[in-house]
Amino acid sequence: MALSIIFMGTPDFSVPTLRALHEASHDIRAVYTQPPRPAGRRGLELTPSPVHRVAEELGLPVRHPVSLKGTDEQQAFAALNADVAVVVAYGLLLPQPILDAPRHGCFNGHASALPRWRGAAPIQRALMAGDTETAMMVMKMEAGLDTGPVAMETRIPIGDDMNAGDLHDRLAEAGALLMVDAMAALEAGTLTLTEQPAEGVTYARKIDKSETRIDWTATAQGVHDHIRGLAPFPGAWCEMEIGGKAERVKVLKASPVAADGDEDAAPGTVVAEPLTVACGRGSVALERLQKAGGKPLDVEDFVRGSPVSVGDRFP
């Protein structure tokens, strides 16, 4: 017998799990997602979330309440009489009546090796911290922030050049397979839960605009991790003087390089062509960049249109 499921998710990251549960022939009684948001160049057109669009494609009923705190919404949720709710990057707080409504509770697909990186931005934070491994976990939800017991996990190595977009896609696909396995075990009555360790807790707070600027005084590895942790979105950036005018430029890809005599150069100084920049220790070769309003360019194409010279310094 299939489980009756309420699925709750919003962005692209959630879509593979929704598709996988549907393909596994579970009874998805409703899909909850964030309300349509203004989009388009003028922000006038309301655009449904990726999960909303896929749910309609699959013929599934969609609900998009602004909040789940009201009694009416909680009663409507409970009236679905579901076995379980599956939550993947939904984006709304689940009050206790929602957590308690499904017969087996609510299970969350979380993109970190809990208890490391509880919170909103675990993929970016893992990369920015230079972690070499992360995980996708299925956790039973409780009132605390990502504090619930873990049901299943799969470990994912983080490659030296992997960026947030790469890791996002890898974890989304792994999470879909893991959730299908977890729901099969729940249906069979064999799913076991393990409490998270009390040690090793870190929090993945939401990325703030103020931390996207590149700090050239960091080590070359630190600058590299910062850039890849924010690529492709929102993008780490620096200011460059181009044509006598300071312009904001996103750096989408870079690699740390050996210092080779650059130890005395001030951080932010261009020390080699086409665009190698000194850091607090070592240097980074900038490989893919994007000017405001422009398209991403490989460094050779970028410097052809925006000349930068050895000795130039970026603040």
**pTM metric for this prediction:** 0.94
State the CB neighbour count (10 A cutoff) for residue 295. 7
Residues 172, 191: one domain?
yes
Q: Give CA–CA dist 33/18, Å, rounded.
A: 12
Please give the residue range of the domain that contains residue 248: 209-305
Residues 19, 71: one domain?
yes
From 147, 170, 203, give the residue that closes a domain.
Answer: 203
Q: Give CA–CA dist 75/85, Å, rounded.
A: 15
Residues 223, 150: one domain?
no
Tell me if 227 is assigned to some domain. yes
Find out whether 309 is annotated in a ligand binding site: no
The helix, strand and coil proportions of the chain, stated in percent and rounded to the nearest 5, come to 30, 30, 45
Q: pLDDT (tens digit, 9 = 90+) per residue, 204-254?
A: 999 999 999 999 999 999 999 999 999 999 999 999 988 788 999 999 999
Is the alpha carbon torsion for 198, 204, 210, 211 positive or negative?
Answer: positive
For residue 264, the SS3 value is: helix
Residues 219, 153: one domain?
no
CA dihedral angle for residue 106, residue 111, residue 112, residue 113, rounded to 10 degrees: 60
Residue appearing with tokens 């010279």: 309
Please compute the mean of the pLDDT values over residues 79-90 and round it to a whole number.
Answer: 98
Residues 151, 240: one domain?
no
Residues 215, 159: one domain?
no
Tell me if 315 is assigned to some domain. no
DSSP 195: P
pLDDT tops 90 at residue 11: yes
Residues 55, 132: one domain?
yes
DSSP 196: P
Residues 129, 249: one domain?
no
pLDDT tops 80 at residue 259: no
Please compute the mean of the pLDDT values over residues 181-195 and round it to a whole number.
Answer: 98
Residues 131, 226: one domain?
no
Residues 101, 10: one domain?
yes
Find out whether 113 is annotated in a ligand binding site: yes
CA angle 237, 40, 122 (to 5 degrees): 45
pLDDT tops 80 at residue 281: yes
From 181, 203, 225, give the residue that closes a domain.
Answer: 203
Find out whether 114 is annotated in a ligand binding site: yes
Structural domain total, the chain: 2
Peptide bond into 115 cis (omega under 30): yes
What six digits make up the tokens of 97?
């009546």
Note the pLDDT of residue 176: 98
Residues 89, 186: one domain?
yes
Tell me if 313 is assigned to some domain. no
The CATH number linked to 49 is 3.40.50.170
Q: pLDDT (tens digit, 9 = 90+) per residue, 54-76?
A: 999 999 999 999 999 999 999 99
Find out whether 135 is annotated in a ligand binding site: no
From 186, 203, 220, give the residue that closes a domain.
Answer: 203
Residues 196, 245: one domain?
no
CB 222 within 8 A of CB 293: no
Note the pLDDT of residue 261: 54
